[in-house]
Amino acid sequence: MSLLTITKTQEENKLTAKISGRVDTSTAPQLDNEVSLSLDGIDDLVLDFKQVEYISSAGLRVLVSLQKTMIAKKGKLTVCGLSDDILDIFKATGLTDFLEIEK
């Protein structure tokens, strides 16, 4: 059983979600639900991946979905704190061209 922890902090219209653990088939729906349900009035979404050990294709799909949501809201999604391994996955899948990434 995978464990995923999401700690959210909101400052005005900016939501930061610190994600810890593995984002895989069993935890991706949790990430999608917890973040998507918090986007009312948010136009700046930051996903902090410093504590993420692994991300599967299911997790990548959630990020693409969140990015599309933020584009529709005229907002912005930033992913930060990626490990080299996860950054390599983002590069291999072309997500570095689609997402705003801060090292």
Written in H, E and C, the secondary structure of 32-95 is HHHHHCCCCCCCEEEEEEEEEEEECHHHHHHHHHHHHHHHHCCCEEEEECCCHHHHHHHHHHCH
**pLDDT category, 103, cuts 50, 70, 90?**
confident
End-to-end CA distance of the chain: 29
Q: How many domains does the chain have?
A: 1
Domain CATH number, residue 45: 3.30.750.24
- At 51-75, the pLDDT tens digits run 999 999 999 999 999 999 999 999 9
Is residue 12 predicted with pLDDT exceeding 90?
yes
Domain extent for 88: 4-102
- Taking CA 11 as the corner, what is the angle to CA 96 and CA 5, rounded to the nearest 5 degrees? 60
